[in-house]
């Protein structure tokens, strides 16, 4: 996610979350050479594994709980609202496709 595109409001949400992740040793931060005001954040291998595991939460819930299509849609709407409210939305390629 590129915080610069979203302004100060999103950066206020990202900074505490990033600090919590750094305390766990999951990302690295570095200055962007072409723009010294920009900060590049990358996940270390443990962070990438944790992200991959988190992306499987929805799949696991559907498999274990066996909800109806309507329940899945309600859950999906709620999860999207939470991620949008926290500024942690995933790229479209990261979302599970409908019907899977």
| Residue among 15, 33, 21, 5 nearest 86 (CA) | 15
Task: Give the C-alpha separation, 100 to 96, whole Å.
Answer: 7
- What pLDDT does 99 receive? 38
Sign of the CA dihedral 59, 65, 66, 68? negative
- What pLDDT does 55 receive? 86
Per-residue pLDDT of the chain (100 residues; tens, 9 = 90+): 444 555 566 677 778 888 888 898 889 888 888 887 787 888 889 989 988 998 898 788 888 888 888 988 898 888 888 878 776 655 544 444 333 3
- What pLDDT does 29 receive? 86
- Residue 90: DSSP 8-state: P
Task: Give the C-alpha separation, 89 to 69, whole Å.
Answer: 23
- What pLDDT does 93 receive? 42
3-state secondary structure of 27: strand
């Amino acid at each position: 996610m590129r915080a610069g595109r979203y302004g100060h409001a999103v950066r206020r949400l990202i900074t505490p979350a990033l600090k919590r992740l750094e305390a766990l040793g999951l990302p690295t931060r570095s200055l962007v050479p072409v723009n010294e005001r920009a900060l590049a954040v990358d996940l270390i291998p443990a962070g990438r594994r944790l992200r991959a595991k988190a992306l499987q939460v929805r799949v696991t819930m559907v498999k274990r709980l066996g909800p109806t299509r309507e329940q899945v849609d309600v859950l999906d709407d709620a999860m999207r609202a939470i991620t949008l409210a926290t500024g942690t939305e995933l790229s479209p390629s990261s979302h599970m496709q409908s019907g899977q």
